[in-house]
């Protein structure tokens, strides 16, 4: 099989790229190792920045998003008995976020590709790539029990952190940076109405917790746990005890319980591979960078990369210009490193570290006090949270 752009991975990056290329008259094939049902039901991110919402609306993907997405104008930081709301409206001249589950974005993108007879191959596992410096790079994959091959003109790795595309770049040529955190996040999806209008990030003596939501009847809660914990280490009783203890630290506020319909543990790491182009192979999204989810940046950075990559490929097919392809990595990395810093900042501010001296906790308390006092500091947090302008 041959196509113009071969895309590995049907996550937000791969699907959005295929959709935007189609709108530019460029043909692509998306190869996804999982089933359609799996990718449409995988619970992940929940927050869309203003810029991501605008891009999805411009690309004709906004119908359900406008109907079901929940516009938020602030977030609450809770430090023990103290609480402070970061008001996006006053601090960012009216920008905000929309709470809309990543799996809903995936459903909208798949529906749009299917409507356009796009070539999405599910349960098609890519096993290797070659000819990356030729004009016809090749993807080797397994589908329906057979070894298959896709030749293309550009090969895009949208296959996430554990995919095959980044390792196809020789390690000696990969410029990589990583920081691991001494904790993970346990996340639960709960059939219960949210207990607050906006997200609550809590730094408590027992550790971090986050109260988020997916709809008027679905809550999404997270708590910090040891990095090696397995989900079976956490009974429902233990999960709820920890969430109540860490979130119910202010008067007259209680966390609503309900049936837990999904649960999982996500490791926490910051990672960047600055080598986002290698011949005709280009990386986008989690294949190139990972952030701890505390800043709600993962999916938004994937969308940011695709904004640049779709423009670069469109320019090449339109008039053979290589300029945007050459600047693709640096164009992405400016926002990626801003997102990495903000995600590290929020993670450092809100989690409990095994810090016997108490030094880290006093830094956190000082930062919280400053956020409460200084509109300049609160503005910095707000403008990063709603998304830096392109
Ligand atoms: P994705 O990982 O979404 O998609 C990659 C796709 O490639 C997958 O569908 C995979 O099956 C496929 N693939 C991999 N190898 C392949 C192969 N060899 N052949 C074919 N297909 C292959 N971000 C937030 O902002 N907030 C959160 O709360 C949050 N929670 C997360 C929880 C988990 C468990 C994980 C893993 C990530 C979470 N993230 C969160 C980050 C997440 O939203 C990512 O940033 C986002 O999915 C990135 O999108 P993609 O780059 O498209 O990668
Ligand atoms: C979520 O709703 O899944 C969510 C929200 C904010 C975050 C991380 C995850 O920082």
Q: Give me the percent of the chain exceeding a pLDDT of 90.
A: 97
- Is 101's pLDDT higher than 70? yes
Confidence of residue 389 (pLDDT cuts 50, 70, 90): confident
Question: pLDDT by residue (tens digit) across 273-317?
Answer: 999 999 999 999 999 999 999 999 999 999 999 999 999 999 999
Residues 185 and 174 in one domain: no
Confidence of residue 355 (pLDDT cuts 50, 70, 90): confident
Residue 81 lies in a domain: no
Q: Residue 208 in contact with residue 223, Cβ under 8 Å? A: yes
CA of 289 to the centre of ligand 2 (A): 18
Residues 129 and 207 in one domain: no
Ligand showing the shortest atom-to-Cα distance for residue 44? 1
Pair type for strands 281-283 and 154-157: parallel
Residues 16 and 118 in one domain: yes
Ligand 1, residue 300: give the atom nearest the CA.
25
CA of 170 to the centre of ligand 1 (A): 23
Residues 39 and 105 in one domain: yes
Q: How far apart are CA 295 and CA 228, in angstroms?
A: 22
Residues contacting 130, CB < 8 A, separation 6+: 137, 138, 140
Residue 127 lies in a domain: yes
- Report residue 176 as tokens: 């990589």
Residues 53 and 129 in one domain: yes
Residue 288 lies in a domain: yes
Residues 244 and 275 in one domain: no
Which residue's alpha carbon is nearest to atom 6 within ligand 2? 296
Into how many domains does the chain fold?
A: 2
Q: Is the CB of 139 under 6 A from ligand 1?
A: no
Residues 150 and 248 in one domain: no
Tell me what the pLDDT averaged over the chain comes to: 97
Residues 169 and 63 in one domain: yes
Residue-number span of the structural domain to which 204 is assigned: 181-268+353-386
Q: How far apart are CA 259 and CA 261, in angstroms?
A: 6
Q: Is the CB of 101 under 6 A from ligand 1?
A: no
Q: Is the CB of 13 under 6 A from ligand 1?
A: yes
In the residue annotation, 162 being an active-site residue is answered as: no
Q: How far apart are CA 340 and CA 274, in angstroms?
A: 13
- Is 357's pLDDT higher than 80? no
Instruction: Please provide residue 154's backbone torsions phi and psi, each rounded to the nearest 5 degrees.
Output: -135, 145
Nearest to 247 by CA among 205, 216, 295: 205
Confidence of residue 271 (pLDDT cuts 50, 70, 90): very high
Ligand showing the shortest atom-to-Cα distance for residue 33? 1
Question: pLDDT by residue (tens digit) across 66-77?
Answer: 999 999 999 999
Mean pLDDT, residues 176-205 taken together: 97
Residues 370 and 341 in one domain: no
Residues 275 and 264 in one domain: no
Residue 91 lies in a domain: no
Q: Is residue 323 within a helix (H) or strand (E), and if so which, with residue range? A: helix 323-350
Q: What pLDDT, on the 0 to 100 scale, is given for residue 359?
A: 93
In the residue annotation, 201 being an active-site residue is answered as: yes
CATH number at residue 187: 3.30.9.10
Our separate counts of H helices and E strands in the chain read 11, 20
Q: Residue 198 in contact with residue 74, Cβ under 8 Å? A: yes
CA of 260 to the centre of ligand 1 (A): 22
CA of 219 to the centre of ligand 1 (A): 21
Question: pLDDT by residue (tens digit) across 199-215?
Answer: 999 999 999 999 999 99
Nearest to 236 by CA among 214, 219, 261: 261
Q: Is residue 325 within a helix (H) or strand (E), and if so which, with residue range? A: helix 323-350
In the residue annotation, 37 being an active-site residue is answered as: no
Mean pLDDT, residues 339-363 taken together: 93
Q: What pLDDT, on the 0 to 100 scale, is given for residue 354?
A: 87
Q: What pLDDT, on the 0 to 100 scale, is given for residue 228?
A: 94
- Is 245's pLDDT higher than 90? yes
Q: Ligand 2 site: residues with CB under 6 angstroms?
A: 45-47, 199, 212, 220, 293-296
Residue 123 lies in a domain: yes
CA of 161 to the centre of ligand 1 (A): 7
Q: Is the CB of 266 under 6 A from ligand 1?
A: yes
Angle between the N-to-C axes of helices 323-350 and 298-319, in degrees from 0 to 180, rounded to the nearest 10 = 180
In the residue annotation, 297 being an active-site residue is answered as: yes
Residue 35 lies in a domain: yes
Residue 77 lies in a domain: no
Residue 301 lies in a domain: yes
Ligand showing the shortest atom-to-Cα distance for residue 102? 1
Which residue's alpha carbon is nearest to atom 38 within ligand 1? 44
Q: Is the CB of 11 under 6 A from ligand 1?
A: yes
For 372, other C-beta atoms within 10 Å of its C-beta total 15
Residues 125 and 144 in one domain: yes
Q: What is the pTM of this model?
A: 0.97
- Report residue 331 as tokens: 């164009």
Residues 218 and 240 in one domain: yes
**170 class by beta-carbon count within 10 Å (0-12 exposed, 13-18 middle, 19+ buried):** exposed
Question: pLDDT by residue (tens digit) across 136-158?
Answer: 999 999 999 999 999 999 999 99
Q: What pLDDT, on the 0 to 100 scale, is given for residue 274?
A: 98
Q: How far apart are CA 8 and CA 132, in angstroms?
A: 14
Which of 137, 194, 292, 293 does the annotation list as catalytic? 293
CA of 163 to the centre of ligand 2 (A): 23
Instruction: Please provide residue 174's backbone torsions phi and psi, each rounded to the nearest 5 degrees.
Output: -90, 125
Mean pLDDT, residues 172-199 taken together: 98
Mean pLDDT, residues 257-271 taken together: 97
Mean pLDDT, residues 111-123 taken together: 97
Q: What pLDDT, on the 0 to 100 scale, is given for residue 356?
A: 66
CATH number at residue 174: 3.50.50.60
- Which residue is associated with the tokens 């402070």? 84
Nearest to 152 by CA among 29, 63, 270, 249: 29
Question: pLDDT by residue (tens digit) across 36-72?
Answer: 999 999 999 999 999 999 999 999 998 999 999 999 9
Residues contacting 69, CB < 8 A, separation 6+: 48, 53, 98, 99, 100
- Is 329's pLDDT higher than 90? yes
């Amino acid at each position: 099989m041959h196509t113009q752009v071969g895309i590995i991975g049907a996550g937000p990056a791969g699907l959005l790229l295929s959709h935007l290329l189609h709108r530019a008259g460029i043909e692509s094939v998306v190869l996804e190792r999982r089933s359609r049902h799996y990718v449409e039901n995988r619970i992940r991110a929940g927050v869309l920045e203003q810029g991501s919402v605008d891009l999805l609306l411009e690309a004709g993907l906004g119908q359900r998003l406008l109907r079901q997405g929940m516009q938020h104008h602030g977030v609450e930081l809770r430090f023990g008995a103290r609480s402070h709301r970061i008001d996006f409206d006053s601090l960012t001249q009216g920008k905000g976020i929309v709470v809309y589950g990543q799996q809903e974005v995936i459903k909208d993108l798949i529906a749009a590709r299917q409507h356009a007879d796009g070539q999405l191959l599910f349960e098609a596992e890519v096993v290797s790539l070659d000819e990356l410096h030729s004009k016809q790079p090749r993807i080797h994959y397994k589908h329906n029990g057979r070894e298959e091959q896709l030749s293309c003109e550009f090969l895009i790795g949208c296959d996430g952190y554990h995919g095959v595309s980044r390792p196809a770049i020789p390690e000696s040529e990969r410029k990589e940076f990583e920081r691991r955190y001494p904790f993970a996040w346990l996340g639960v999806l709960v059939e219960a109405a949210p207990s607050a209008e906006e997200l609550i990030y809590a730094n408590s003596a027992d550790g971090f917790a986050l109260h988020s939501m997916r709809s008027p009847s679905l809550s999404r809660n997270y708590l910090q746990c040891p990095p090696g914990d397995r989900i079976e280490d956490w009974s429902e009783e233990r999960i709820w005890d920890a969430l109540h203890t860490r979130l119910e630290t202010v008067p007259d506020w209680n966390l609503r319980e309900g049936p837990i319909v999904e649960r999982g543990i996500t490791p926490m790491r910051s990672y960047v591979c600055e080598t986002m182009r290698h011949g005709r192979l280009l990386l986008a999204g989690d294949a190139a960078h990972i952030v701890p989810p505390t800043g709600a940046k993962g999916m938004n950075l994937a969308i940011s990369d695709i904004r640049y990559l779709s423009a670069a490929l469109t320019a090449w097919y339109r008039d053979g210009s290589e300029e945007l392809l050459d600047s693709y990595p640096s164009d992405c990395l400016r926002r990626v490193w801003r997102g990495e810093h903000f995600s590290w900042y929020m993670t450092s501010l809100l989690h409990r570290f095994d810090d016997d001296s108490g030094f880290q906790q006093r830094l956190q308390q000082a930062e919280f006090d400053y956020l409460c006092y200084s509109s300049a500091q609160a503005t910095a947090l707000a403008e990063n949270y709603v998304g830096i302008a392109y």
